[in-house]
Structure 1
Amino acid sequence: MNSRLISFNYQNSTVAERETARDFLSKQAGVLLATCNRVELYQAPLSRSSIRHLFRVAAGLESQVLGETEILGQVRAAAAKARGTLLEPIFKKAIAVGVRVRKETGISRGNVSVASVAVAIAARLLKGQDKKVVLIGCGKVSQAVLKNLIKRGFSCVFVANKTFAKALELAKNIGGLAVRFDCLAKEIRNADLVISSTAAPHLVLKKRRIGKRAKPLVIMDLAVPRDVEPEIGCLPRVSLFNIDDLKEEIGLNLLRRRIEAIQAEKIVEEEVGKFCQQSKLALVPVG
């Protein structure tokens, strides 16, 4: 920690510790940057190393998922609180650095989460957005899948869950339809894409539920243990993918991001040097 920056993040604290830190730091003077993975309080004047840290955060270099894009919006939200203070130009510059890094490098390119990779592969195989999707499960992974489906334009989504009320709630949020488990086989028969992610200790989707297919069906089994009977992948016109099948693409995309991060690091260092040289702020001689 630096004298003008207090940082609790996924590398140095637990979720509970970050929750406690957020409650305390939100009452302190300064600009609070709070996300699910970090809680940071910035107070003027900032040291050079603190400025570097903020620029790296905005660039996605400090994120748990390297290069993720949500952090830039979160830095923008924090910047709004810095208006009219000595920290305003620093946060403005941090946003500009984040934008430049993503424009000049590929640090944010390529899907690196299970949900985004699953939907990306399905979209490539199905080649069209007017497809019927059946989503089994309402947990965090399923919610992430839904976000990615919406981003890619899938609008015909049916949500199934053992607890029907949860399926209703999730389906309502995206204008989809809820499906009772005992009606699941019927909906799958004319589906184009099935994505399953439950916490069930047993198979949720068995071969007998699929039946003969007149059109292709893509199934993404994102559960551990698996939701889908492996033999389903041998059926005609059915393409079955599980977590292990997605790992290779995730790994390749992460490797590409790490390579791009080298150039991103150079951009950040360049921008830190220029900002500190041009700034009239009284910088603490640290870092």
Structure 2
Amino acid sequence: MILNIRIDHKTADINKIEESTRNMDEIFANIQHDHQVQEYVQVKTCNRAEIYMVLDEAPLHYQWGGLVVEKDEKALEHVLKLSCGLESMIIGEDQILGQLKDAHKVSVKKGHCGPVLDNVFTKATHVGQVVRKKTQINQGSVSIGSAAVNLAESVLGDLKCKKVLIIGAGKMGTLVAKALVEKHLKAIVVANRTYDRAVCLAKELGGDAIRFDRLARAISDADVVISATGAPHAILTREKVNVAVPPENLEKMVMVDIANPRDIEEDVEDLGVKLYNIDDLRGIADNNKKKRQSEAKKAEKIVAEELDLLEKSLQHLEVEPIIANIRSQAEIIRLRETEKAYHMLGDMNGKEKVVDHLTKVVVDRVFYNIIHNLKEAAENDDTEVINSAKYLFKNKT
């Protein structure tokens, strides 16, 4: 069975997401201890944490603690919708597709992804691409990064004369940067633990890069701070901000924290700073959702069609070894008998390809119905036919 456990923006705020992510890691460790987890892929973004796993039986007797738990068809439907941006806070955003690809690659590299989840995530990538090609769900779409910029703009007004500090030069920081470029801003500073990355991003923006140890100085006169690092703990505490920022600047400052876990401690707000996080982007997300309802319906129709194909392909996995064995045995016989025919026919004057093609076609036609019926048996869970095929086509050597 395929199991998906997750926490995301649809069922929790950022506090709950942070708390439940730790809880989910503990539950997953327990499942691995109690059950044979054959494959798994972990997905983590700024507003979700998910684990997909393949195991023999449903794990029981766990206190899920607010996590969403879905299996088989529901889990598959969710990952396809996720790849299309239908499950995102910002409907139609493109970043999730890259995040799913990355999660898939990491799992493959570490040896955690097997044939089932490889099929699932390959299909999810395909569906995400098809939906974006056949619908306009991502046309002019905003990302979490640009939503953060829009939020700051809604508070301060035009940002053209404001100094903006971006903390983090990773994927999310880059999205923020791109959104700022579209606003034609010039006073942009990028801070990152890896200075070279900050330099590269700042160069693209026409802004300045600073080393992380100069962060306090950069904060002191910033109008807007947008933080999106992958740090495991807060990098801006109340004490650090209080020391770095002059009192007269605190109440003018806007900070937007789009990291998970958060980069900025909540009590920074006590200093008078206007502090926002992922939860505060929901209003922008709701407006975006209304604009894309008709495109979302088209996307859901594509998902439904592709889900049916995915389920069939997963059912076919059971008989793939039998089919591979049939093809392997047939190919050995075909090559052997074709070689005999060449010797008997003598000089073929370059027409060997004709004979080779003919034998391939004959073999394919002979086994076409057998393979088709085997796949159909898998779809119908016909174990009698499958077991008979295993016996009939097993190697005798």
Question: Could you report, residue by residue, the CA deviation over 1:60-118 in whole angstroms, capped at 9, with x for unpaired residues?
Answer: 22223322322212221233335552332222111101111122223233226433436
Structure-2 residue corresponding to 1:18:
21
Tell me how far apart the structure 2 counterparts of residues 21 and 60 of structure 1 sit (CA, whole Å): 23
Tell me how far apart the structure 1 counterparts of residues 55 and 103 of structure 2 sit (CA, whole Å): 14
1:256 aligns to 2:301 (yes or no): no
Normalised TM-score (structure 1): 0.57
Consecutive unaligned residues of structure 2, counting only runs of 5 or more, are 57-70, 203-207, 227-240, 257-268, 275-280, 319-377, 381-397
Alignment of 1:147-162 (within 5 A): 147-150=175-178, 152=181, 157-159=187-189
1:99 aligns to 2:134 (yes or no): no
Which has the larger Rg?
2
Q: For 1:111, give the aligned amino acid.
A: V
Consecutive unaligned residues of structure 1, counting only runs of 5 or more, are 185-193, 208-219, 228-245
Structure-2 residue corresponding to 1:61:
86
Question: Could you report, residue by residue, the CA deviation over 1:154-189 in whole angstroms, capped at 9, with x for unpaired residues?
Answer: 79544499xxx99x99966844156957995xxxxx
Tell me how far apart the structure 2 counterparts of residues 116 and 106 of structure 1 sit (CA, whole Å): 23
Residues 197 and 169 of structure 1: is their aligned pair in 2 closer, same or farther, counting only changes over 3 Å? farther
Residues 55 and 181 of structure 1: is their aligned pair in 2 closer, same or farther, counting only changes over 3 Å? closer
Tell me how far apart the structure 1 counterparts of residues 219 and 75 of structure 2 sit (CA, whole Å): 56
SS in structure 2 at match of 1:204: helix
Question: Could you report, residue by residue, the CA deviation over 1:247-283 in whole angstroms, capped at 9, with x for unpaired residues?
Answer: 9976543321233211111110011123334541468
Higher RCO (Cα < 8 Å, 6 or more apart):
1
Residues 22 and 205 of structure 1: is their aligned pair in 2 closer, same or farther, counting only changes over 3 Å? closer
SS in structure 2 at match of 1:30: strand
Alignment of 1:157-168 (within 5 A): 157-159=187-189
SS in structure 1 at match of 2:309: helix
Structure-2 residue corresponding to 1:40:
51
Q: What is the CA distance between 1:16 and its match in structure 2?
A: 1.7
Q: For 2:176, give the aligned amino acid.
A: N
Mean Cα deviation higher: 108-117 or 57-66: 108-117
Residues 159 and 134 of structure 1: is their aligned pair in 2 closer, same or farther, counting only changes over 3 Å? same
Structure-2 residue corresponding to 1:8:
6
Q: What is the CA distance between 1:42 and its match in structure 2?
A: 2.2
% identical equivalent positions: 21
Structure-1 residue corresponding to 2:259:
none
Residues 146 and 119 of structure 1: is their aligned pair in 2 closer, same or farther, counting only changes over 3 Å? farther
Alignment of 1:1-287 (within 5 A): 4-10=2-8, 11=11, 14-22=17-25, 24-25=27-28, 28-36=37-45, 37-43=48-54, 47-80=72-105, 81=107, 84-109=114-139, 110-111=141-142, 113=144, 114-117=147-150, 134-135=163-164, 147-150=175-178, 152=181, 157-159=187-189, 174-175=201-202, 176-177=208-209, 180=217, 184=221, 196-197=224-225, 204=249, 252-279=287-314, 280-281=316-317
**Is the CA contact (8 Å cut-off) linking 2:84 and 2:97 kept in structure 1?**
yes
Normalised TM-score (structure 2): 0.44
Tell me how far apart the structure 2 counterparts of residues 274 and 196 of structure 1 sit (CA, whole Å): 48
CA RMSD of aligned residues (A): 4.9
SS in structure 2 at match of 1:106: coil
Q: How many residues align?
A: 230
**Is the CA contact (8 Å cut-off) linking 1:48 and 1:284 kept in structure 2?**
no
